[in-house]
Chain A
Amino acid sequence: MSRFPIGIDLEGEGAHPAAWRAADHPPSSLLTPARITARIAAVDASGLAFATVPELDALAPASEVPAALDTIEAAVFAAASTRRVGLVPAVNAIHAEPYHLANQLSTLDWASRGRAGWLVRAVDSPDLAAGYGRAAHTGDDAAVREARDVVAAVRRLWDTWEDDILIADVEGDRFLDLDRWHYADAEGETFHIRGPGLLPRPPQGQLVVWADEPDEVLAPLVDVAVVGGRSVDAVLARSRRAAGLGVPRRVAAVEIVLDARGESAAERLDALDRAAPWRVGDRLRLSGSAARIAEQLAGLATHVDGLRLHPAVLDVDLPVVADELLPRLDALGVLRTPLDGETLRDQLGLPRPTNVFELARENS
């Protein structure tokens, strides 16, 4: 049995829509820096390998907690006080400026010394588009093709400075080696981005690119597919599908509710559901003792490359994840804990990619 990394999703107060009612702090302190630092420090110390930072769909009608910070900046802020955990902000590719996005994400990789990823979202709607004064994409796969073009442009921008470009040759009065920079000239269906990017190649070469259930248009640009599915069989089928599309790593998203603070998971869920029902979505949901959930999660270790946990209430479930669930998974021989100095690529067993411009030169 192999060991795999386990991460967490940091949505608001937790995955349950009533999570804010069970949090340890009043709603108005959700976005204070002290609270954000405390939470990410707990994640970093726990043995969790990565944290995804979800984007808020502010215009979604059912948003229980309709406030959130910019995901990349929140991740950079978290990078300043953590050492091991991978930081994966979600950012919608559609309507975004590829140049800004490439630089912001690259800055995250620099700030975290190679612990950064990008969870690509490819969502469009008349409301989202109206934020940018545009119309939503129409037609079969116009939106996802747009997302593909943005991801491709961002990836190309990351390569525009080759490694070893900084030379500081005093004699020749040259700081940079001009043979090692390139225009991106990234061509999309609706844009052309000249480049080069704003700063040298990110420490990981390329950030780890994640996507939820990428389709065949996006999949070739994705390193990690996050897959849902209500049953273990469904999860495995989706994982196989992503593998079939050539995505190197598959991570299963699992909702969890743990026995905690003297209450059973069922009791907790009951109370939370009375405040706001947690509709069964598209993910596996496990509830019970840490021992039981550890057994169930361990069963996935041979089928997927990692797990992303969605705890019902972060304040309540995270301490149990850290103190009971992860140690049990470790004892079962399935948990891979991150080490100091590892990059997110190291954690996921992904190699540092060769620069496309270097590749082109070698092949010419």
Chain B
Amino acid sequence: MNDRRLHADDYARPHARLHLNVFQPFGPIYDWTRTPQLRDYYEPEAYLALVREAERGLFSAVFLGESLRLREHLGRLNDIAVTGRPDALALFAYLAAGTSRIGLVATLNTTYTDPVDLARRIATVDVLSEGRAGWNVVTTDNGWTGENFRRGGFLDRHNRYLYAEEHVAAVQAIWDGFAADAAADSRDEPAWLRPGGVTDVDRVGDHLRARVRPQVPPSPQGQAVYFQAGDSDEGRDFAARRAEGIFTHHVEFDEAVAFTADIRRRARSYGRTGDDILVVPGASIVIGDTPADADEKARHLRERFLTDRRVRQIVEEVWQEDLAHVDLDGPLPADDPAAERQSRTHGIVHTGHEPSAKVREWRALADAHGYSIRELVDHLTRARAFVGTAGDVADELAHFVRSDAFDGLNVTPDAFPDGLGDVVDRLVPELQERGVYPSEYPGTTLRENLGLPETIGHRVPERAALLEAAAVSA
């Protein structure tokens, strides 16, 4: 690694800074053994403790995964992990009251929300936090999730993106519809609302209709920052057109550099500058006193993550049956799964719904390496982590960010609510020393702290065309 390291000025981006976000996926959290208060996982006050810790470390944002249905395993709730958590935006209203700089980014699905509700709810968090809200737009065609909603699973794979386009455009139109100077500045003006301050939105698209009078004023940052997740060609394109941040999983150096270059290239093809989109992969960080100490910590966390029941679950997800009798230190079951399709339970293993293909792949891998089930699962679930002393990890991250491999990391804390201490107290000072991390927040809004310009919606010509095509004026 060291031979690759250059002098700061020789990098593609010698002055780039790193952003850190605290990422709380929607479960499953597997290490609940160190938690004295089980209810903490659902207490907004415990989340506040975590987020204040992140704010002390000058984190750019707290980032929540989406939460539309609790994880299940073989038709029952998955009982081995912490599951469930507060509603993201309601929680953010609470966090807004107890923090002052950190951004609040929620992953919210377009498929199972109505633009009129989502526009009001996100804008409310943005106002209550004085401009610190962000929206990570995701979309699904998952009918299993749809069982929790009025409309059920109503979209197919292709239409979900078209639906998402119309949904996002409707939300942004509702935000646009309340002017920054709509309310009177003085009690002596003729009316509370100035003429033309609020514009009704009336959209009739191919997939959704909405006629709405906007009711929430814009925040100091104008509109919430727009993130996206998605790795498919379609997803990357969707993101490159309008997103201001993209959430990925590419953290291997070469892969990350290639991914980021691809996103910037696509963004430029839509008339953007390319560096006006932040690339933020998820990863964990494990800090130790020595390299060996860090490795030992990582190994311990890994062991806690891969308990016997968990290893068995991952195999059962594909076989779709109870495999209680199978020896985890032996080979995969000899019989192929009877199930033809994987149940769509947001399980851990994504098979593309064809277990037989996944099983063939697994068997090949196990044969090639002589893996037992436990070793195979360990191999399959190994996620990228930055492990080492604070100095080594800081060096590595500086190398990544200066090489334009990414703009920041979504860091999942290793415990809740106190899992950020090492990063905040040990890694951050090392990053600051290397000049890749600020010593104070650059501004008060999320947009300012991410170094983003005014709302993207107003700058991308693509969107203007899309609005015209979709809108039918009243």
Contact = CB atoms under 8 A, between A and B. Distances in A.
B112 interface: yes
A47 interface: no
Contacts of B192: 20, 27, 64-66
Contacts of B44: 76, 80, 107, 110-111
A33 B97 CA distance: 8
A68 B120 CA distance: 9
Nearest to B216: A69
B210 A73 contact: no
A278 interface: no
B273 to A, nearest CB: 33
Nearest to B44: A111
A195 interface: yes
17 contacts: A26-B186, A27-B184, A27-B185, A33-B97, A37-B97, A58-B214, A67-B178, A73-B125, A76-B90, A97-B113, A99-B68, A107-B87, A107-B90, A191-B150, A193-B149, A197-B84, A198-B70
A189 B394 CA distance: 58
A158 to B, nearest CB: 13
Interface stretch (A128-136, A230-238, A283-291, A352-360): A128-136
Given A33-B97, A194-B148, A199-B84, A73 B112 contact: no
A132 B84 contact: no
Nearest to B29: A175
A104 B88 CA distance: 8
Interface residues of A, number: 72
Contact of A56 (B84, B130, B188, B215): B215
What bracket does the count of chain B residues touching chain A fall in? 35 or more
Contacts of A64: 191-192
Contact of B148 (A21, A31, A59, A193): A193
Interface string B78-97: 01111111110111111011
B83 A176 contact: yes
A198 B85 contact: yes
Interface of B: 32-33, 35, 38-39, 42-45, 48, 67-70, 76-77, 79-87, 89-94, 96-98, 112-114, 116-117, 120-121, 124-125, 127-130, 147-150, 178, 181-189, 191-193, 198, 208-217, 307-310
A80 to B, nearest CB: 3
B85 A77 contact: no
Contacts of A364: none
A181 B92 CA distance: 27
B213 to A, nearest CB: 4
A200 B70 CA distance: 12
Interface stretch (A165-173, A247-255, A258-266, A295-303): A165-173
A108 B129 CA distance: 17
A79 interface: yes
A100 B87 contact: yes
Given A100-B113, A107-B90, A107-B91, A28 B183 contact: yes
A194 B147 contact: yes
Contacts of A72: 90, 93
Nearest to B209: A133
B98 A80 contact: yes
A58 B215 contact: yes
A69 B116 contact: no
- Name which of B43, B187, B191, B307 has the most chain A CB atoms within 10 A of its CB: B187
